[in-house]
Amino acid sequence: MVTPNFWLTCPRPNPQAHLRLFCFPYAGAGASVFRSWSDELSLDVEVYAVQLPGRETRLRESPFTRISPLIETLAQVLLPYLDLPFAFFGHSMGALVSFELARQLRRQKSPSPLHLFVSSRRAPQLPNPYLSIHHLPDTALIEELHRYNGTPQAVLQDPELRSLFLPLLRADLAVIETYIYMSEAPLDCSISAFGGLQDREASRKELAAWRDQTSKTFTLRMFPGDHFFLKRERYALLRVISQDLRRIATGHIEFG
């Protein structure tokens, strides 16, 4: 068992855990998004939430604006924590980051995830159908944020909070919007994709295209809600994640 560092938070350390679940947040968010997940998953699963620079406990640090240096850094930071079987969960930007991290681990011949959970993000090989917004003036960017329904109104309406949040969000959006997909062999791990039925940013068809990124099994599940369905549907989502973790662990881990 290694000691958590500033890149990771572990709400409930568990030396007896048989599997680790690393969770990657959406644009503008931090590790606190996953604070309660440890309480709602199996005792055999140890949850680590990834805390990227520029937010929450790392507010004074500069956020990444490109995915490649972020992935290369994460691949080294997480390496000491990959001594147990593990899986990745990522929502929106986090889905893209976790996917590219899985590919980077494979390239450097490091341990790879048993399973990849991707949520509210179209498959990476699909072109971006939307105009870039990370460079927009504040007023126009705020208007775009209203479409996603993920940023609290208190943040957007408070000048001080807005001055802290918008630069971070711009950086995260730059990570997403400058991303260029490079073709590689499908991952050798199963993939579960999740989406919101009312999400205009990741349709069922766009989520189903994740099937091409795995040589193993693929499942797609849709939930009521929009791009941020994971907030209201957290309990239903975590039940499904628990089921999938048990299923993919068969032959590797016996859960208690």
Quick one: tokens of 44?
């055999």
For residue 254, the model assigns a pLDDT of 39
Q: Give residue for tokens 């062999």.
A: 185
d(CA 185, CA 214): 8
- Label residue 152 by pLDDT band (50, 70, 90): low
Sketch the domain layout of the chain as residue ranges: 8-130+181-249
For residue 92, indicate whether it is catalytic. yes
Mean pLDDT within 211-234: 96
Select from 47, 46, 87, 93 the least CA-distant residue to 70: 93
d(CA 236, CA 233): 5
Total number of residues shown for the chain: 256
d(CA 85, CA 226): 32
Give the global pTM.
Answer: 0.91
For residue 153, the model assigns a pLDDT of 61
Least confident among 27-31, 38-42, 75-79, 247-251: 247-251
The residue from 38, 92, 120, 192 that is catalytic is 92
Residue 19: CA count within 13 A, CB half-sphere: 28
85 vs 137, 250, 251, CA distance in Å?
44, 12, 12
d(CA 135, CA 147): 17
Q: Give residue for tokens 């091409």.
A: 212
| Burial label, 126 (beta-carbon count in 10 A; 0-12, 13-18, 19+) | middle
Among 3.40.1380.20, 2.30.40.10, 3.40.50.1820, 3.40.1710.10, name the CATH number for the domain at 8-130+181-249. 3.40.50.1820
For residue 1, the model assigns a pLDDT of 37
Specify the amino acid at residue 122.
Answer: R
pLDDT in tens, 81-121: 999 999 999 999 999 999 999 999 999 999 999 999 999 99
Helix, strand, coil percent content, the chain, rounded in steps of 5: 40, 15, 45
Quick one: tokens of 227?
């791009």
pLDDT in tens, 157-210: 666 777 778 889 899 999 999 999 999 999 999 999 999 999 989 999 999 999
- Label residue 135 by pLDDT band (50, 70, 90): confident
pLDDT in tens, 1-21: 344 479 999 999 998 899 999
Least confident among 52-61, 81-90, 146-155, 218-227: 146-155
For residue 143, the model assigns a pLDDT of 73
